[in-house]
């Protein structure tokens, strides 16, 4: 019986594999949930952190995450704290989770902290899935309409335009515009130019969004004031704010640190900046509810009133959890209704204008030609 020899990798191949696993392999959020959830379960069952990590390193399918778990295990075996090792991987384990675990280590309630993290991660995943799900349908409809439009302009219209041009008749304005568009789009150079300009625009836009703070603030502020979209963005940010702050406070994180960490979990820059400044004001002794009430455009009275009641009764984390459930449900309902609202808008506005324009440009000259015979 012959034994196959495993091929020895060259130093270049080893470096390439390490580069791919380190920088190009994504770690899905669901895998992170799996890791924390199973770590919590095994620690509750009586396993040490090192033993639990050893099992998970073998179980995890994602190679990059398995590699990181191995590094965490080595760090703990070398005498480092779990939270200190996690800090070395900020892209995988954001500060919110590291702080919660650190608090659990200090208080001796690591299991409870892991419980809070799993709950927070699952709610975040549900919120993100709800948003993505609502965006898929309009995107598919628009992509299909765009594909049909390109096919019509590039393949169908040129044949019809050839027929129209053969007749020496006065064509309607809509038809003449359609002929010019068709002629323009039939040229591969023009299509390449349009694609180049579109790519340049989007690259420039997103680069400016990352590199120029004032531009980012302007766009994010504009987003909050948009009809339909603005209220949805507010609901999403309020859901994240209340969920994160509740989880951090339940893990015994001081409110100053909790508000500061929560700021970074909000997707909108206006919310982020305001909460970072709110953290500084809380440090100086101002109640959080008072600070938030000064920005009722971002934080509705219901939010500030519930936080104020929580501050008085000492149950702020519980009331924030209730707010989180409320806004998560609101986002879910809004996202479901969003597809119901957006479908007729797409059909009436985009499809209606397109079909109406094409009908005028194609049917009217055909009708005129039949009248001439």
Task: Check residue 1 and give its pLDDT.
Answer: 44
d(CA 357, CA 172): 12
Give the pLDDT mean for 319-324: 90
- pLDDT > 70: what percent of the chain? 80
Render pLDDT for 185-240 as a digit per residue (tens, 0 to 9): 777 888 889 889 999 999 999 898 888 889 999 999 999 998 878 888 899 899 88
DSSP-based three-state secondary structure for 171: coil
Q: Which range among 2-16, 109-123, 150-164, 279-293 has the greatest average pLDDT?
A: 279-293
Task: Check residue 62 and give its pLDDT.
Answer: 86
Give the pLDDT mean for 9-29: 58
Given pLDDT bands bounded at 50, 70 and 90, which one contains residue 336?
A: confident
d(CA 253, CA 267): 22
Give the pLDDT mean for 160-172: 66
Task: Check residue 309 and give its pLDDT.
Answer: 93
Residue 22 has pLDDT above 90, yes or no: no
Residue 24 has pLDDT above 50, yes or no: no
Residue carrying the six token digits 């101002």: 286
Q: Of the ranges 2-16, 149-163, 243-257, 304-318, which one carries the lowest mean pLDDT score? A: 2-16
d(CA 113, CA 252): 9
The domains found in the chain, sorted by start residue, are 11-93 (no CATH), 109-373 (1.20.81.30)
Give the pLDDT mean for 41-53: 90
Q: How far is CA 90 from CA 60, 102, 163, 187, 352, in A?
A: 19, 14, 64, 49, 49
Phi, psi of 94, rounded to the nearest 5 degrees: -60, 160
Task: Check residue 3 and give its pLDDT.
Answer: 47
Residue 367 has pLDDT above 50, yes or no: yes
Give the pLDDT mean for 75-86: 91
Write down the mean pLDDT value for the chain: 81
174 contact partners, CB below 8 Å, separation of at least 6: 357, 360, 361, 364
Give the pLDDT mean for 22-29: 66
Residues in the chain: 373
Nearest to 96 by CA among 216, 291, 240, 285: 240
Task: Check residue 104 and give its pLDDT.
Answer: 84
Render pLDDT for 302-312 as a digit per residue (tens, 0 to 9): 999 999 999 99
Task: Check residue 176 and give its pLDDT.
Answer: 75
Residue carrying the six token digits 């059909």: 347
Give the pLDDT mean for 69-91: 90
What's this model's pTM, rounded to 2 decimal places? 0.71
Given pLDDT bands bounded at 50, 70 and 90, which one contains residue 85?
A: very high
Contact 51, 97 (CB under 8 A): no
Task: Check residue 77 and give its pLDDT.
Answer: 92
Task: Check residue 200 and give its pLDDT.
Answer: 93
Task: Check residue 4 and give its pLDDT.
Answer: 47
Task: Check residue 312 and give its pLDDT.
Answer: 92
Residue-wise DSSP of 3-60? PPPPPPPPHHHHHHHHHIIIII----HHHHHHHHHHHHHHHHTT--HHHHHHHHHHH-
């Amino acid at each position: 019986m012959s034994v196959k020899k495993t091929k020895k990798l060259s130093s270049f191949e080893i470096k390439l594999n390490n580069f791919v696993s380190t920088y190009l392999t994504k770690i899905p959020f669901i895998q992170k949930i799996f890791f924390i959830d199973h770590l919590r379960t095994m620690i509750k069952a009586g396993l040490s952190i090192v033993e639990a990590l050893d099992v998970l390193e073998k179980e995890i399918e994602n190679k990059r995450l398995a590699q990181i778990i191995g590094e965490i295990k080595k760090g703990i075996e070398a005498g480092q704290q779990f939270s200190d090792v996690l800090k070395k991987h900020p892209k995988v384990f954001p500060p919110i989770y590291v702080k919660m675990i650190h608090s659990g280590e200090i208080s001796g309630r690591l299991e409870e902290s892991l419980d809070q993290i799993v709950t927070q991660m699952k709610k975040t995943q549900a919120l993100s899935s709800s948003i993505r799900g609502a965006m898929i349908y309009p995107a598919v409809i628009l992509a299909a309409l765009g594909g049909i439009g390109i096919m019509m302009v590039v393949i169908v219209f040129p044949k019809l335009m050839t027929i129209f041009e053969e007749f020496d008749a006065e064509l309607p304005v809509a038809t003449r515009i359609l002929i010019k568009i068709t002629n323009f789009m039939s040229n591969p150079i023009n299509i390449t130019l349009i694609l180049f300009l579109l790519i340049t625009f989007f690259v420039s836009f997103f680069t400016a969004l990352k590199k120029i703070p004032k531009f980012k603030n302007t766009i994010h502020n504009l987003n909050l004031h948009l009809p339909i979209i603005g209220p949805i963005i507010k609901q999403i940010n309020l859901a994240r704010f209340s969920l994160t702050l509740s989880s951090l406070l339940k893990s015994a994180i001081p409110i100053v640190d909790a508000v500061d960490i929560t700021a970074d979990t909000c997707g909108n820059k206006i919310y982020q900046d305001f909460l970072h400044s709110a953290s500084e004001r809380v440090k100086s002794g101002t109640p959080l509810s008072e600070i938030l009430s000064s920005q009722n455009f971002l934080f509705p009275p219901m939010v500030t009133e519930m936080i104020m009641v929580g501050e008085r009764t000492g149950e702020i984390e519980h009331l924030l959890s209730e707010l989180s459930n409320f806004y998560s449900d609101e986002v879910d309902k809004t996202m479901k209704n969003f597809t119901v609202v957006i479908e007729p808008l797409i059909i009436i506005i985009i499809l209606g204008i397109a079909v109406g324009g094409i009908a005028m440009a194609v049917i009217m000259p055909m009708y005129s030609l039949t009248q001439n015979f």
